[in-house]
Amino acid sequence: MDVNALQAFTAVAELSSFSEAAARLHLTQPAVSKRIRQLEGELGRRLFDRVARRVQLTEAGHALLPGARRILLELDESRRRLANLSGHVAGTLSIGTSHHIGLHRLPALLRGYTRRYPEVDLDLRFLDSEAGCAAVEHGDLELALVTLPPETPPQLVSTPVWDDPLTLVAAVDHPLAAIHGPVALAQLAEYPAILPAIGTYTRGVIERALATHGLKPKVRLDTNYLETIRSMVSIGLGWSALPEILVDSSIKSLSTEGLRLRRTLGFVRHRERTLSNAAAALIDSARP
């Protein structure tokens, strides 16, 4: 089977879109369609159905996908092992990161890294931390720099980089902000909250910490973007818990007792994948 055709097939399967697959592979959409047609002709099976403008795997496509992923992963592994023999730090490094880390943590790290290793081509993708971990697990990314999951999946290895404490916040004119001294945790339940989306690692950190005190937040709004949460908090729509780096004059930190909110930011990589020299150098660059 043609490797390029398998790459096109897995990209379309994972993104459910020919146009998005073309963008990922830096190809035109007709070029991706041609590779899929060639693969379908070789196999004698239709691999995708197009139903109501949606691209879906056929039964044959579902059967092919695991094997196609294994072939591509083994090929990438062989290439990395050979490239690593030279000790030279170069080539393409595919890495995913969250928008928050991309805004507030990654620039300083990449500034020094790119100057030291100018021959590395960064394939940088912005996505939620949970999607980043899944992409590494599926072999779509070599590294992800994300909020680390509370329990690392067995296929992944995590490397902590930054401790990222969260602090309770409210608008400067919110009733909670007017309380003198520590805010009693029970008082939080009386007011709406604005939190990260359900299923995110950060939402889990907040809910588990409150649950230990028998509290469940009354969520008015949720979103994956922490900067959006800060904006909504600043106009008084609810309280929240945000990284300390996001606290500015538009919101006020709330003092509490007995509540510890912390998350860890760091790298995840696949346990069975050999790190490229470029990936290993980036991880080393982030160490204190």
Query: In the chain, what is the straight-line distance between the N-terminal and C-terminal CA atoms, in Å?
Result: 45
What pLDDT is stored for residue 74 in this prediction?
81
| pLDDT of the residue at 275 | 87
CATH superfamily of 163-262: Periplasmic binding protein-like II (3.40.190.10)
Contact 127, 96 (CB under 8 A): yes
In the chain, which residues fall in CATH 3.40.190.10?
87-161+265-286, 163-262
Residue 118's pLDDT is 94
Say if residues 261 and 241 touch (Cβ distance below 8 Å): yes
Domain 87-161+265-286 has CATH 3.30.1360.70: no
Closest CA to 213 of 163, 264, 260: 260
Question: Which pLDDT score, from 0 to 100, does residue 52 have?
Answer: 67
Beta bridge pairs of residue 239 = 193
pLDDT score recorded for residue 75 = 84
Q: Where in the chain is the domain with CATH 1.10.10.10?
A: 3-83
- Whether pTM > 0.85 for this model: the answer is no
User: Pairing between strand 218-222 and 91-97?
Assistant: unpaired
Name the stretches of the chain with pLDDT < 50. none
pLDDT at 84: 66
- The predicted structure's pLDDT at residue 79: 77
From the options 1.10.3720.10, 1.10.10.10, 1.20.5.50, 3.40.50.300, give the CATH code of 3-83. 1.10.10.10
